[in-house]
Every structure is written in structure tokens, then in C-alpha cells.
Amino acid sequence: SSWSFFIIGVTVLVVAVPEGLPLAVTISLAYSVRKMMRDNNLVRHLDACETMGNATAICSDKTGTLTTNRMSVVQSFFLGKLVKHVPSRDMVTPGVIDLFSRSVSINSSYSSQVIKSKEVGQLPRHLGNKTECALLQFVGELGEDYEAIRKAKP
């Protein structure tokens, strides 16, 4: 197509003249905006294309508004029981909670962390893999300390 000739021309410009790099970046981002518009993704800022282009899943609520990029456990399935809230210790065998907590704490990346907020009412900060952070936060909600488990099994 005509776009491929244009892209090749911009590539030659960048290779021949280093000052053409900012122009090439802007043009490629504008091209990405057009491509994303065809996928019904509205992009307001050109630099968002780089981030959104690498996304494999985009989380949104029922109105289509992007969410806060935070995952959380909303229901669990322990010993054949579906629980739609954080199960209490008397609902699940303590050995199962301990096994689950140790499994999540040890088998998740040690770079994934849930940092508790110093301000009351603020959500904790998630550092690292979002799925692992959601599971680590769930371990905390079960009354376990994932950091202590990690220290015991380095």
C-alpha cells in the first residue's frame, strides 16, 4: 500500500539525516493513532500509542471507561465452595488457607509487592505483576503475611 512506501521513505530519511528522528517518531505515532482508531480505540495523546500498542488486555467497566489498572480477587473456590467474599478462617480448613498462602507467596515473583498505604482509606500500591499483586493482597486479606512467608522460605 501507499503507507508502506511512506514508511520506507521515512526510514531512509532517519538513516540519512539523524535530525529526522523526531519527525519519524511523530509520524509513526500518528500512523499508530489511525490504526488504533480503526480498532475503535480513541487515543488523545500520541505517546499513549506506545503503551496501548503493547497491551494484550484492556480492562474497562461496563461504560467503557478504563479502570485503575488494578486487579483484585472478587471470588474464590476452596474445597468445592464458591465464596464471593474473603472467606473467614471458620469457612475453610486452616491447613488449606496456609497451603494457599504459602503457594502464592513463594511461587510469585519476589519483585511483586503490595505496599500498604500510609493514609487511611487509600488503596495499597501494587508493584510488579498485577495478577500476582492481586493474589498477594488476597493472602493479606486472609490474615496471612506474605512477606513473613517469603523470609521463612528464601
Residues annotated as part of the active site: 61
Cell numbers at residue 28, please?
509513526
Dihedral, CA of residue 143, residue 146, residue 148 and residue 149, to nearest 10: 110
Locate the DSSP E strands across 4-146.
Answer: 76-78, 81-83, 113-115, 125-127
- Check if the beta carbon of residue 126 is closer than 8 Å to that of residue 137: yes
Long-range pairs for 14-23 at CB < 8 Å and ≥24 separation? none
